[in-house]
Amino acid sequence: MVVGVQRIALHIDGIDVDFSLAQRIGQEIAGKENEEAVLIAWSDARNNLHSPHGIQCEIRGEPGWEVYGRTHGGRLRISFNRDALVLIYS
């Protein structure tokens, strides 16, 4: 769980939400409160990919990429379709 970060969960049916689409939607949402929002960390569980990709461990039960996002300025966590894709923005 990301503490101190606003959490948004989206469920989208009828179309495949790939990383590119999720990023466009995420940037639109993140930009509502911060026009200079930056994608800090992300996970694509379906393809077993995440960034930063060098962090392979879990820290207290959380994936390393998610801890990185939270501790490096992440303020917004957007989950698509039950964490199939997760984006963390500044």
pLDDT tens digit sequence for 33-58 = 899 999 999 999 999 999 998 666 66
* Longest alpha-carbon distance in the chain: 36
pLDDT tens digit sequence for 14-26 = 999 999 999 999 9
Helix H or strand E segment including 87: strand 85-89
Work out the percent of the chain whose per-residue pLDDT is above 70.
90
9 pLDDT above the threshold of 80: yes
Q: How far apart are CA 24 and CA 58, in angstroms?
A: 28
Mean pLDDT of 4-9: 94
pTM: 0.89
Q: Token pair for residue 18?
A: 């790939």
Q: How far apart are CA 87 and CA 61, in angstroms?
A: 18
